[in-house]
Amino acid sequence: MSYHFSSRMASLSGTATREIFKLLTRPEIISFAGGLPANEFLPVEDVAQITAEILASDTARKILQYGVTDGLLPLREILTAYVEDVGIQDAALDNTLVISGGQQGIDLMCKTFLDKGDVVLVEDPTYLAILQIFNAYEAKAVGVKTVKDGLDLDDLEQKMIQLKPKFLYVVPTFSNPTGKTYSASNRKSIAQLASKYHIPVLEDDPYGKLRYSGEEVPALKAFDTSGHVVYISSFSKILSPGLRTGVAIGAPEIIRKMSIGKQGTDLHTSNLSQAVTYEYLKRGKLYPNIEKAVPMYRERRDAMLGALEKYMPDEFIYTRPEGGLFIWGEFPVGIDTVKIFPEAVGQNVAYIQGQVFYADGKGLNTLRLNFSTEPPERIEKGIKILGKLFKQKLSDAKNQI
């Protein structure tokens, strides 16, 4: 049977994300492919206690009943204060929308701004799922060059002028996939360019609270004086991804449109998930639990950096992130991480081919390594296997010349 699908869907197949989740289910695989918080870090007991109290309270019926699209009022209120921690001052209720995870924030931003054929600027490489979402809106992602401390501002300005993009999408803190963090001055310049050329920015900040070294940097939104930046954050990495909660903060006119878009999509986010998120914040559970998790994540990051130093070929260049979940690496051109991937999995180690993070199919010689879910011993073991495999491939490549 063939169906007349919409043109946006006709060409879409499952993303790499989807296929990756399947790989993770085999226990013998040492997986650096995911982007999950560590199972050990999920606050099961806190959530159990909070949920029991919510469902035994007077508000239980309210939680099980329909809610409003913008989100539970107490949660929205506490979120306006929560974002002060990243330097976003004066957020009010009409700036604040509860979303079903960060992914929904991206989707609603696209829904609000993108028409078929529009251009969106992204850091190159960028979060792979957003490239898939742009396809669904029949929009085109164009990569912006990067420098050490963020985006290449000249390239950004030129592309803002020439391409008239509908918005710029960035993950400026512990970026996915590179692990990079933009400097405060780079953020400020991006906000100024956005204002100058009247181009909205979507700042995606799922990892910002997971810092293992270095100094905190305010959100890009903190430098926004003209209402052009929409800030989205998620509780997936610092509370629970299974609950699907997050927040979008932006100009009231934009938030209002995103809310209307959300109404058509899921009416509202699960009230139970929202209530758990609210109580978790209100009871002051978030930061103590993050403080407990950070040393574990730091140990894993350091184990991976150490193993990369020890086992990977000298030609392999990689990032040294101050937080987040990912290290990004690059081989000399000629090494094809897509082609080598099945061999790595055959040796029970998984990574993600860097190519999927590029807007234009570049990056065959790159890969992304996640360090959050495997214990240090398995990280060492897995990188050792990858090191041997890639050394062999480099040697093969040289012999061919």
* 9 forms part of the interface with a second copy (CB under 8 A): yes
In this chain, which of 32, 75, 86, 101 binds a second copy, going by CB under 8 A? 101
Binding-site string for a second copy from residue 175 to residue 214, where x marks contact by CB under 8 A and - marks none: -----------------------x-x--------------
Task: Establish if 103 lies at the interface with a second copy (CB under 8 A).
Answer: yes
Q: Which of residues 251-270 bind a second copy (CB under 8 A)?
A: 251, 253-254, 257, 260-261, 263-270
Does 73 sit near a second copy (CB under 8 A)? no
User: Does 136 participate in binding a second copy (rule CB under 8 A)?
Assistant: yes
User: If binding means CB under 8 A, how many residues of this protein chain bind a second copy?
Assistant: 83
Which CB, 163 or 397, lies closer to a second copy? 163
Window of 46-54, 145-153, 184-192, 216-224 that interacts with a second copy by CB under 8 A: 46-54
Site for a second copy in 341-360 (CB under 8 A): none
Closer by beta carbon to a second copy, 267 or else 317: 267
**Cβ closest to a second copy, residue 46 vs residue 157:** 46
- We find the least distance from the C-beta atom of residue 67 to a second copy, in angstroms, to be 6
Binding residue (CB under 8 A) for a second copy from 16, 23, 51, 378: 51
Q: Does 289 bind a second copy (CB under 8 A)?
A: no
Q: Which of 222, 243, 248, 304 binds a second copy (CB under 8 A)?
A: 243
For residues 212 and 294, give the distance between their C-alpha atoms in angstroms, rounded to a whole number: 6
**Given 19, 26, 84, 116, the residue binding a second copy (CB under 8 A):** 116
Query: Closest distance between a second copy and the C-beta of residue 127, in Å?
Result: 12
